[in-house]
Structures are given as C-alpha cells and as structure tokens.
Amino acid sequence: MIPEQCIKIAIENGYDFWGYKDFKMDDERVVLIYNGDCMDERPLSDIAQDPAFWQALGKGFGWDEKAFCNHCYIDKQSWEEKPRKCAGDWLKHEFNDWLYHALRYFETLLTGGNLEQFWKKLLPKE
Ligand SMILES: [Zn+2]
C-alpha cells in the first residue's frame, strides 16, 4: 500500500514512473495513463521495490535533514552529539535516509504492521 500523494510527490521530484505522469490506482496497482488512455498497469510492489521511488520521495520530503542509521536507527543528530557504536558492532553507522524509510516500510509490511500508520507519520500534517 502506497498513498497516491506519495507517488505524486516522487514523480514531482524526479521519479521517472516508466515515463508516465498521469495514473489511477487502487490498493494493488497503478494504471498508467497517457492522453486520457489507460496504457499499462503495474503492481504497487514494483514501486515499493524501486530505490528510485524512495530516493525521489526523500527529496520531496527533505529527509536528508534527519537521516537515520540503516542498521540501528539512531538519528544523525544524536550520533553527532554522543557518538556510539552501531547495534551490529561490526558495522559502522550508515546514514541513508531513503533506505532507512524503505526498510521501515518493508519491516512494517513483513511483520503485519499498519502501513496506513507508517505513511501517516511520514506525510505532512494537513
Ligand atoms: Zn548504526
């Protein structure tokens, strides 16, 4: 499940979306539209599995400002104030905001969590 608003934000921020700008969608798939005609359809999982989607979304959301470690989830600011070892001790902290959020998405999905809540936390408050 990916909110329509997030796909739009990603497209506005450089996600190529198979060359399309217009689409319709339901919980399972997007229908790609060109000049008002339905040209093709893709499962939402194709989007969720595409790093380019998360990178463009991160650009739209300004995630760089608050990067989290991909391994232990500590945020960059806390780490700079008080450096500590990563939870996986052979790993170094690796701050990569888009990957952090993508990993949280799949963790939520795979553990039967609430994806609606996941997206609600990310989306700008109305
Ligand atoms: Zn870490």
- Give the E-state strand segments of the chain in sequence order: 22-25, 29-34, 37-43
Secondary structure of residue 47 in the 3-state scheme: helix
Q: Which of 13-17, 46-50, 59-63 comes out lowest in average pLDDT?
A: 59-63
**Per-residue model confidence (pLDDT) at position 54:** 96
The pLDDT of 17-37, averaged and rounded, is: 95
Q: What is the pLDDT of residues 66-106, one digit of tens each?
A: 788 888 888 888 888 887 778 766 667 888 889 889 999 99
pLDDT at residue 96, as a whole number:
83
Distance from the alpha carbon of residue 74 to the mean position of ligand 1, in angstroms: 6
By the CB criterion, residues less than 5 angstroms from ion ligand 1 are: 69, 71-72, 86, 93
Distance 49 CA to ligand 1 centre (A): 23
- CA 65 – ligand 1 centroid, Å: 17
CA of 12 to the centre of ligand 1 (A): 31
Domain boundaries, the chain: 4-122
